[in-house]
Amino acid sequence: MPGDLAVGIHDLSIATTRYVLTHETLAARNGTDIAKYHEGIGQRSMSVPAVDEDIVTMAAAAAAPIIDRHGAEGIRTLFFATESSVDQSKAAGVHVQALLGLPSAVRVVELKQACYAGTAALQSAVGLIHRDPAQRVLVIAADVSKYELDSPGEATQGAAAVAMLVSADPALVRLENPSGVFTADVMDFWRPNYRTTALVEGRDSISAYLRAVEGAWTDYTEQGGRKVNDFDAFCYHQPFTKMARKAHRHLLAFCGYDADDSEISRALRHTTAYNTLVGNSYTVSMYLGLASLLDNAGELSDKAIAFFSYGSGSVAEFFGGTVVPGYRAHLRSGAHRDAISRRVPIDYARYREIHEYEFPDDGGDYPVPIENDGPYRLTGLFGHKRVYETRPARSRNG
């Protein structure tokens, strides 16, 4: 295995939904003081999928610009990370392979461990490239975060997808060894197979997350990782953006530093800009934070970025990466901002209607109306089969 081979993220593209619900709309409906949402949890709005959108359409929309730019040559693996699976058996990535017209000589698999699975996919991709540096791996994460109406979790919903091309000699971020890993069997957040909405013990999930910060960081240092001061920015998993602030304060305190608010803001500011508008995107969320950082921060060449990935249940990983000089020429900042800003605001009644919509399970034919204006759509459920299509005028976010 080549020891000094640089492997990491060569390209990164995000997609989100057609609709958006603002926290002002939610607060007006449930009587919550808007400051609780804006300041207390750090959220302004959340992406809501149209009835013809799901993890597959968002994933394909995120990945298509990558295939447009780089072609499919050398991609022999597609990892699809999600906890919003549309099928118990078939990997959602197989639909994406078809929608993108990828060759048949590709292995496709779906990975799950709550919000952590995107990182499992990324690290597995790094391993495959060390085995054969000529290969590239398409890593996609896509999720729809859905909690019960009128529950505390309702304000921390959202949806997005991220696609990353992982390769040797990457253009954006070189991923580093070691990783610090941590697993603890806790029931802080889960979704039994018979439920469409997640269950969460809100305050417990915050404590479990913070224990995982300590555990993963401890392992990272024991494995010979960097010092906490070596990092210029910190990308945390963000079920809500305030969680990143809690986590960073906790990490610094654990390392013996008493950080003030301005130092926390400096380390996190650019990593939360997209998440505060998109909401919780589960396994996408840390990578949405990375996109937000690269797109919105000043020059980051050669700077070290820390990543903390957490999936309830729970599995966590802390690792570092270095931004590659010249990375700015490869960003998709305009397309990313556009994907977020062109969402159509919906009122509470429409949001509730979408939230409550479920396909009947009788095997009938259930087409859905055309709502999303993205390049791919779910046409409906026909004889228990989800059917997808590419829109005639495919408008990718290039």
Q: Which residues bind ligand COA (CB under 6 A)?
A: 33, 35-36, 39-41, 152-153, 155-156, 189, 200, 202, 205, 209, 239-240, 280, 312
Query: Dmax of the chain from CA atoms?
Result: 61
Residue 189 CB, nearest approach to ligand COA (Å): 4
Kindly tell me the sign of the dihedral angle through the C-alpha atoms of 355, 373, 295, 321.
positive
Specify which residues 181 forms β-bridges with.
317
Kindly tell me the sign of the dihedral angle through the C-alpha atoms of 72, 75, 76, 77.
negative
Please say which residue, 115 or 172, places its beta carbon nearer to ligand COA: 115
Residue 176 CB, nearest approach to ligand COA (Å): 25
Residue type (1 letter), 37 = Y
d(CA 157, CA 263): 28
Nearest residue to ligand COA on Cβ basis: 40
d(CA 131, CA 1): 6
* Length in residues, the chain: 398
HEC letters along 150-194: CCHHHHHCEEEEEEEEEEECCCCEEEEEEEEEEECCCCCEECCCC
Kindly tell me the sign of the dihedral angle through the C-alpha atoms of 51, 54, 57, 61.
positive
Considering 115, 270, 317, 371, which one is annotated as catalytic? 115
Residue 310 CB, nearest approach to ligand COA (Å): 6
Phi/psi of residue 195, nearest 5 degrees: -115, 145
CB–CB of 180/220 below 8 Å?
yes
Considering 83, 154, 317, 371, which one is annotated as catalytic? 83
Share in percent of the chain as helix, strand, coil (round to 5): 40, 25, 35
Residue 230 CB, nearest approach to ligand COA (Å): 26
Please say which residue, 312 or 397, places its beta carbon nearer to ligand COA: 312
Residue 212 CB, nearest approach to ligand COA (Å): 9
**Token digits of residue 78:** 């597609």
Residue 153 CB, nearest approach to ligand COA (Å): 4
Q: Look up residue 40 and give its DSSP letter.
A: I
Considering 237, 248, 270, 336, which one is annotated as catalytic? 237
CB–CB of 244/238 below 8 Å?
yes
Please say which residue, 278 or 300, places its beta carbon nearer to ligand COA: 278
Residue 175 CB, nearest approach to ligand COA (Å): 23
Please say which residue, 155 or 173, places its beta carbon nearer to ligand COA: 155
Cα of 194 vs its chain's centroid, Å: 24
CB–CB of 60/100 below 8 Å?
yes
Please say which residue, 25 or 296, places its beta carbon nearer to ligand COA: 25
CB–CB of 57/388 below 8 Å?
yes
Please say which residue, 239 or 289, places its beta carbon nearer to ligand COA: 239
Please say which residue, 57 or 281, places its beta carbon nearer to ligand COA: 281
Catalytic residue check, 237:
yes
Please say which residue, 39 or 302, places its beta carbon nearer to ligand COA: 39
DSSP of 378-398: EEEEETTEEEEEE-SS-----
**Token digits of residue 320:** 């570092």
Residue 366 CB, nearest approach to ligand COA (Å): 30
How many Cβ atoms from other residues are within 10 Å of residue 258's Cβ?
8
Which residues are known to be catalytic?
A: 83, 115, 237
